[in-house]
Amino acid sequence: MTASARLSRRGLGLVAASLAALVGLSACSSGQSPVTGGQDAGGKRTITDALGKQVEVPANPQRVLALSEQDLDAVLAMDVKPVGTVNGRGQKTPPRYLGDRLKDIKVVGDLSTPSMDKVVESTPDVILAGGVTDENVLNQLRQVAPTVVTFKLETDWKTAFRIEADALNKADKAKAVLADYDRKVQEVKGKLGPNANAEVSIVRWNPKGPGTMQTQQFASLVVADLGLRRPAAQQEPGFSHGSPLSLEALAKMDGDWLFLGTLTPDGEAVQAMEQARNMPAFQQLKAVRDNHLVAVDGSLWTSRGGPLGALAVVEDVSKAMAKS
Protein backbone atom coordinates (compact mmCIF):
# COMPACT_ATOMS: atom_id res chain seq x y z
CA MET A 1 0.00 0.00 0.00
CA THR A 2 1.39 3.45 -0.89
CA ALA A 3 1.96 6.23 1.62
CA SER A 4 -0.79 8.31 0.00
CA ALA A 5 -3.19 5.36 0.21
CA ARG A 6 -2.45 4.99 3.91
CA LEU A 7 -3.10 8.69 4.38
CA SER A 8 -6.35 8.65 2.43
CA ARG A 9 -7.65 5.63 4.33
CA ARG A 10 -7.44 7.24 7.74
CA GLY A 11 -6.56 10.84 7.05
CA LEU A 12 -9.97 12.34 6.33
CA GLY A 13 -11.43 10.92 9.53
CA LEU A 14 -8.40 12.03 11.55
CA VAL A 15 -8.57 15.52 10.11
CA ALA A 16 -12.27 15.87 10.84
CA ALA A 17 -11.93 14.51 14.37
CA SER A 18 -8.86 16.60 15.18
CA LEU A 19 -10.41 19.77 13.81
CA ALA A 20 -13.56 19.18 15.82
CA ALA A 21 -11.53 18.74 18.99
CA LEU A 22 -9.47 21.86 18.40
CA VAL A 23 -12.52 23.97 17.56
CA GLY A 24 -14.31 22.73 20.68
CA LEU A 25 -11.36 23.65 22.89
CA SER A 26 -11.17 27.08 21.32
CA ALA A 27 -14.85 27.71 21.94
CA CYS A 28 -14.66 26.59 25.56
CA SER A 29 -11.62 28.66 26.37
CA SER A 30 -12.80 31.85 24.68
CA GLY A 31 -16.53 31.75 25.36
CA GLN A 32 -17.09 32.69 21.71
CA SER A 33 -18.50 30.79 18.75
CA PRO A 34 -16.06 28.22 17.37
CA VAL A 35 -13.75 29.48 14.62
CA THR A 36 -11.01 27.68 12.70
CA GLY A 37 -7.37 28.69 13.02
CA GLY A 38 -7.22 29.64 9.35
CA GLN A 39 -9.43 32.73 9.66
CA ASP A 40 -7.57 36.04 9.36
CA ALA A 41 -8.90 39.39 10.50
CA GLY A 42 -6.91 41.13 7.79
CA GLY A 43 -9.06 39.79 4.96
CA LYS A 44 -8.31 37.37 2.15
CA ARG A 45 -6.64 37.27 -1.25
CA THR A 46 -6.96 34.92 -4.19
CA ILE A 47 -3.77 33.63 -5.80
CA THR A 48 -2.92 31.09 -8.50
CA ASP A 49 -0.75 28.16 -7.49
CA ALA A 50 1.67 26.05 -9.56
CA LEU A 51 -1.16 23.78 -10.69
CA GLY A 52 -3.11 26.74 -12.03
CA LYS A 53 -5.61 26.45 -9.19
CA GLN A 54 -7.19 29.55 -7.64
CA VAL A 55 -6.63 29.52 -3.88
CA GLU A 56 -8.09 31.93 -1.34
CA VAL A 57 -5.49 32.68 1.32
CA PRO A 58 -5.27 35.05 4.30
CA ALA A 59 -4.11 38.52 3.31
CA ASN A 60 -1.38 38.34 5.94
CA PRO A 61 -0.72 34.74 7.00
CA GLN A 62 0.55 34.34 10.55
CA ARG A 63 0.93 30.56 10.84
CA VAL A 64 2.65 29.12 7.80
CA LEU A 65 3.20 25.39 7.41
CA ALA A 66 5.99 24.53 4.93
CA LEU A 67 5.71 20.97 3.62
CA SER A 68 8.85 20.79 1.49
CA GLU A 69 12.49 21.74 1.91
CA GLN A 70 12.10 24.32 -0.85
CA ASP A 71 9.08 25.92 0.84
CA LEU A 72 10.95 25.97 4.14
CA ASP A 73 13.96 27.68 2.57
CA ALA A 74 11.77 30.27 0.88
CA VAL A 75 9.77 31.10 4.00
CA LEU A 76 12.91 31.58 6.06
CA ALA A 77 14.42 33.75 3.31
CA MET A 78 11.42 36.06 3.72
CA ASP A 79 12.08 36.32 7.48
CA VAL A 80 9.06 34.19 8.37
CA LYS A 81 9.40 31.33 10.87
CA PRO A 82 6.94 28.58 9.96
CA VAL A 83 4.91 26.73 12.59
CA GLY A 84 6.07 23.43 11.12
CA THR A 85 7.89 21.67 8.34
CA VAL A 86 8.95 18.20 7.17
CA ASN A 87 12.21 16.31 7.04
CA GLY A 88 14.30 16.78 3.93
CA ARG A 89 14.32 14.37 1.02
CA GLY A 90 15.65 11.01 2.23
CA GLN A 91 16.70 12.56 5.55
CA LYS A 92 15.83 12.25 9.22
CA THR A 93 15.90 16.02 9.77
CA PRO A 94 15.13 19.18 7.79
CA PRO A 95 17.99 20.20 5.46
CA ARG A 96 21.25 20.59 7.37
CA TYR A 97 22.38 23.70 5.52
CA LEU A 98 19.66 25.77 7.18
CA GLY A 99 21.46 25.35 10.50
CA ASP A 100 20.30 27.51 13.40
CA ARG A 101 17.37 28.85 11.40
CA LEU A 102 15.62 25.55 12.17
CA LYS A 103 15.51 26.20 15.91
CA ASP A 104 12.04 25.77 17.42
CA ILE A 105 10.43 24.72 14.11
CA LYS A 106 8.39 21.57 14.68
CA VAL A 107 8.65 18.64 12.27
CA VAL A 108 5.27 17.27 11.20
CA GLY A 109 6.50 14.27 9.23
CA ASP A 110 8.54 13.32 6.21
CA LEU A 111 8.53 14.83 2.75
CA SER A 112 5.37 13.71 0.87
CA THR A 113 4.03 11.92 3.98
CA PRO A 114 3.20 14.47 6.67
CA SER A 115 1.40 13.26 9.78
CA MET A 116 -2.13 14.61 9.50
CA ASP A 117 -2.47 14.69 13.29
CA LYS A 118 0.61 16.90 13.54
CA VAL A 119 -0.54 19.06 10.63
CA VAL A 120 -3.79 19.77 12.44
CA GLU A 121 -2.03 20.35 15.76
CA SER A 122 0.13 23.04 14.16
CA THR A 123 -3.04 25.08 13.41
CA PRO A 124 -1.72 26.70 10.22
CA ASP A 125 -3.59 29.47 8.46
CA VAL A 126 -1.90 28.59 5.15
CA ILE A 127 -0.09 25.46 3.96
CA LEU A 128 2.67 25.53 1.35
CA ALA A 129 2.70 22.11 -0.29
CA GLY A 130 5.30 22.30 -3.02
CA GLY A 131 5.64 19.13 -5.07
CA VAL A 132 2.49 17.50 -3.67
CA THR A 133 0.33 16.23 -6.51
CA ASP A 134 -1.65 13.45 -4.83
CA GLU A 135 -5.24 14.69 -4.65
CA ASN A 136 -6.02 12.51 -1.62
CA VAL A 137 -3.29 14.21 0.36
CA LEU A 138 -4.17 17.66 -0.95
CA ASN A 139 -7.84 17.23 -0.07
CA GLN A 140 -6.90 16.34 3.50
CA LEU A 141 -4.62 19.37 3.76
CA ARG A 142 -7.30 21.66 2.33
CA GLN A 143 -9.62 20.67 5.17
CA VAL A 144 -7.07 22.08 7.61
CA ALA A 145 -6.15 25.37 5.91
CA PRO A 146 -5.84 26.95 2.44
CA THR A 147 -3.23 24.87 0.62
CA VAL A 148 -0.95 26.24 -2.08
CA VAL A 149 1.00 23.89 -4.35
CA THR A 150 4.03 26.12 -4.86
CA PHE A 151 5.88 24.08 -7.46
CA LYS A 152 5.74 21.05 -9.72
CA LEU A 153 8.67 18.79 -10.52
CA GLU A 154 9.73 20.94 -13.45
CA THR A 155 9.34 24.33 -11.71
CA ASP A 156 12.65 26.16 -11.26
CA TRP A 157 13.46 27.56 -7.84
CA LYS A 158 13.01 31.23 -8.76
CA THR A 159 9.53 30.66 -10.19
CA ALA A 160 8.59 28.64 -7.12
CA PHE A 161 9.92 31.38 -4.84
CA ARG A 162 7.66 33.95 -6.50
CA ILE A 163 4.63 31.71 -5.92
CA GLU A 164 5.67 31.15 -2.30
CA ALA A 165 6.04 34.90 -1.86
CA ASP A 166 2.65 35.55 -3.45
CA ALA A 167 1.05 33.09 -1.03
CA LEU A 168 2.47 35.09 1.89
CA ASN A 169 1.76 38.49 0.30
CA LYS A 170 5.48 39.26 0.27
CA ALA A 171 6.21 39.93 -3.40
CA ASP A 172 8.33 42.99 -2.60
CA LYS A 173 10.44 41.03 -0.14
CA ALA A 174 10.96 38.32 -2.76
CA LYS A 175 12.14 40.88 -5.31
CA ALA A 176 14.70 42.17 -2.81
CA VAL A 177 15.91 38.64 -2.00
CA LEU A 178 16.33 37.78 -5.69
CA ALA A 179 18.13 41.07 -6.30
CA ASP A 180 20.57 40.21 -3.49
CA TYR A 181 21.14 36.82 -5.09
CA ASP A 182 21.82 38.40 -8.48
CA ARG A 183 24.31 40.82 -6.92
CA LYS A 184 26.13 37.99 -5.17
CA VAL A 185 26.28 35.96 -8.40
CA GLN A 186 27.83 38.86 -10.28
CA GLU A 187 30.31 39.46 -7.47
CA VAL A 188 31.51 35.85 -7.47
CA LYS A 189 31.59 35.64 -11.29
CA GLY A 190 33.99 38.57 -11.25
CA LYS A 191 36.34 36.69 -8.92
CA LEU A 192 36.51 33.35 -10.75
CA GLY A 193 39.47 34.43 -12.88
CA PRO A 194 40.95 31.40 -14.69
CA ASN A 195 38.08 29.26 -13.41
CA ALA A 196 35.47 31.29 -15.30
CA ASN A 197 33.68 29.03 -17.76
CA ALA A 198 35.15 25.92 -16.09
CA GLU A 199 33.40 22.57 -16.40
CA VAL A 200 31.79 21.73 -13.07
CA SER A 201 30.67 18.23 -12.13
CA ILE A 202 27.91 17.85 -9.52
CA VAL A 203 27.53 14.36 -8.07
CA ARG A 204 25.45 12.72 -5.37
CA TRP A 205 26.91 9.44 -4.11
CA ASN A 206 24.10 6.99 -3.41
CA PRO A 207 24.33 3.52 -1.81
CA LYS A 208 24.32 2.00 -5.32
CA GLY A 209 26.89 4.41 -6.72
CA PRO A 210 27.33 8.01 -7.90
CA GLY A 211 24.70 9.87 -9.89
CA THR A 212 25.40 13.09 -11.77
CA MET A 213 22.86 15.86 -11.35
CA GLN A 214 20.71 16.65 -14.35
CA THR A 215 20.82 20.00 -16.13
CA GLN A 216 17.68 21.57 -14.64
CA GLN A 217 18.31 20.41 -11.10
CA PHE A 218 18.58 23.12 -8.44
CA ALA A 219 22.39 23.38 -8.05
CA SER A 220 22.85 22.93 -11.79
CA LEU A 221 20.80 26.09 -12.36
CA VAL A 222 22.85 28.00 -9.79
CA VAL A 223 26.22 27.10 -11.31
CA ALA A 224 24.79 28.02 -14.72
CA ASP A 225 23.95 31.48 -13.31
CA LEU A 226 27.64 31.72 -12.41
CA GLY A 227 28.60 31.11 -16.04
CA LEU A 228 30.03 27.67 -15.30
CA ARG A 229 29.52 24.73 -17.64
CA ARG A 230 28.66 21.09 -17.06
CA PRO A 231 30.87 18.40 -18.68
CA ALA A 232 29.78 16.84 -21.95
CA ALA A 233 28.89 13.59 -20.15
CA GLN A 234 26.53 15.49 -17.81
CA GLN A 235 24.09 17.03 -20.25
CA GLU A 236 21.14 14.80 -19.38
CA PRO A 237 17.96 16.92 -19.17
CA GLY A 238 15.88 16.59 -16.05
CA PHE A 239 15.31 17.85 -12.53
CA SER A 240 17.03 15.22 -10.37
CA HIS A 241 19.99 12.90 -10.94
CA GLY A 242 20.89 10.25 -13.48
CA SER A 243 21.15 6.52 -12.93
CA PRO A 244 24.01 5.34 -10.68
CA LEU A 245 27.32 4.97 -12.50
CA SER A 246 29.32 1.78 -12.25
CA LEU A 247 32.87 2.03 -10.93
CA GLU A 248 34.03 1.34 -14.49
CA ALA A 249 32.17 4.45 -15.68
CA LEU A 250 33.48 6.92 -13.08
CA ALA A 251 35.08 9.03 -15.83
CA LYS A 252 31.58 10.36 -16.59
CA MET A 253 31.61 12.18 -13.24
CA ASP A 254 34.86 13.98 -13.99
CA GLY A 255 35.25 17.68 -14.70
CA ASP A 256 37.58 20.60 -14.11
CA TRP A 257 36.01 20.73 -10.67
CA LEU A 258 34.03 18.02 -8.89
CA PHE A 259 31.47 18.91 -6.20
CA LEU A 260 30.60 15.68 -4.43
CA GLY A 261 28.20 14.94 -1.59
CA THR A 262 25.75 12.50 -0.05
CA LEU A 263 22.15 13.19 0.84
CA THR A 264 22.69 12.12 4.46
CA PRO A 265 25.76 12.74 6.67
CA ASP A 266 26.20 9.04 7.46
CA GLY A 267 24.97 5.62 6.42
CA GLU A 268 25.38 3.36 3.39
CA ALA A 269 26.01 6.12 0.86
CA VAL A 270 28.84 7.64 2.90
CA GLN A 271 30.42 4.24 3.41
CA ALA A 272 30.20 3.40 -0.30
CA MET A 273 31.70 6.75 -1.26
CA GLU A 274 34.62 6.44 1.16
CA GLN A 275 35.45 2.98 -0.16
CA ALA A 276 35.33 4.16 -3.77
CA ARG A 277 37.57 7.17 -3.09
CA ASN A 278 40.47 4.80 -2.44
CA MET A 279 40.08 3.01 -5.75
CA PRO A 280 42.44 3.72 -8.67
CA ALA A 281 39.56 4.68 -10.99
CA PHE A 282 38.57 7.45 -8.57
CA GLN A 283 42.11 8.61 -7.95
CA GLN A 284 42.70 8.93 -11.70
CA LEU A 285 39.92 11.50 -12.18
CA LYS A 286 41.32 14.80 -13.44
CA ALA A 287 39.50 16.79 -10.75
CA VAL A 288 41.01 14.56 -8.06
CA ARG A 289 44.53 14.74 -9.51
CA ASP A 290 44.25 18.54 -9.75
CA ASN A 291 43.04 18.78 -6.15
CA HIS A 292 39.74 20.15 -7.42
CA LEU A 293 37.52 17.74 -5.51
CA VAL A 294 35.17 19.65 -3.21
CA ALA A 295 33.14 17.84 -0.53
CA VAL A 296 29.73 19.47 -0.17
CA ASP A 297 26.48 19.03 1.75
CA GLY A 298 24.38 16.79 -0.47
CA SER A 299 21.16 17.97 1.20
CA LEU A 300 21.99 21.35 -0.31
CA TRP A 301 23.66 20.55 -3.63
CA THR A 302 21.71 17.50 -4.70
CA SER A 303 18.14 18.18 -3.60
CA ARG A 304 15.71 21.07 -4.07
CA GLY A 305 16.33 24.46 -2.53
CA GLY A 306 15.34 28.10 -2.45
CA PRO A 307 17.20 31.41 -2.23
CA LEU A 308 19.08 30.55 0.97
CA GLY A 309 20.27 27.33 -0.62
CA ALA A 310 21.20 29.11 -3.83
CA LEU A 311 23.31 31.62 -1.92
CA ALA A 312 24.97 28.76 -0.03
CA VAL A 313 25.87 27.04 -3.32
CA VAL A 314 27.31 30.30 -4.63
CA GLU A 315 29.35 30.64 -1.43
CA ASP A 316 30.69 27.08 -1.79
CA VAL A 317 31.77 27.84 -5.36
CA SER A 318 33.36 31.08 -4.24
CA LYS A 319 35.39 29.41 -1.49
CA ALA A 320 36.62 26.70 -3.85
CA MET A 321 37.12 28.50 -7.15
CA ALA A 322 37.31 32.27 -6.69
CA LYS A 323 40.61 34.13 -6.54
CA SER A 324 41.55 35.15 -3.00
Give this prediction's pTM: 0.86
- On whether the CB atoms of residues 244 and 276 are closer than 8 A, the answer is no
243: left (phi over 0), alpha (psi -120 to 50) or beta: beta
Q: Which residues pair with 206 in a beta bridge?
A: 209
Among 186, 182, 162, CA closest to 172: 162
> Which secondary structure element, helix H or strand E, spans residue 45, and what is its range?
strand 44-48
**Parallel, antiparallel or unpaired: strands 64-66 and 126-128:** parallel
How many angstroms separate the CA atoms of 102 and 136, rounded? 29
What value, to the nearest 5°, has the Cα angle with vertex 209 and ends 203 and 214? 35
Residues 6+ apart with CB under 8 A from 163: 47, 49, 50, 148, 150, 151, 155
CA 23 remoteness from chain centre: 32
Cβ–Cβ under 8 Å, residues 119 and 141: yes
Give the chain's domains with CATH numbers.
3-169 (3.40.50.1980), 191-321 (3.40.50.1980)
Handedness of CA 214, 218, 224, 228 (dihedral sign): negative
Q: Per residue of the chain (324 residues), what is the pLDDT tens digit?
A: 444 434 444 444 444 444 444 434 333 333 332 223 334 446 999 999 999 999 999 999 999 999 999 999 999 999 999 999 999 988 889 999 999 999 999 999 999 899 999 999 999 999 999 999 899 999 999 999 999 999 999 999 999 999 999 999 999 999 999 999 999 999 999 999 999 999 999 999 999 999 999 999 999 999 999 999 999 999 999 999 999 999 899 999 999 999 999 988 889 999 999 999 999 999 999 999 999 999 999 999 999 999 999 999 999 999 999 975
Tabulate helix, strand, coil % of the chain (nearest 5).
Answer: 45, 15, 40
Q: Count of residues for the chain? A: 324
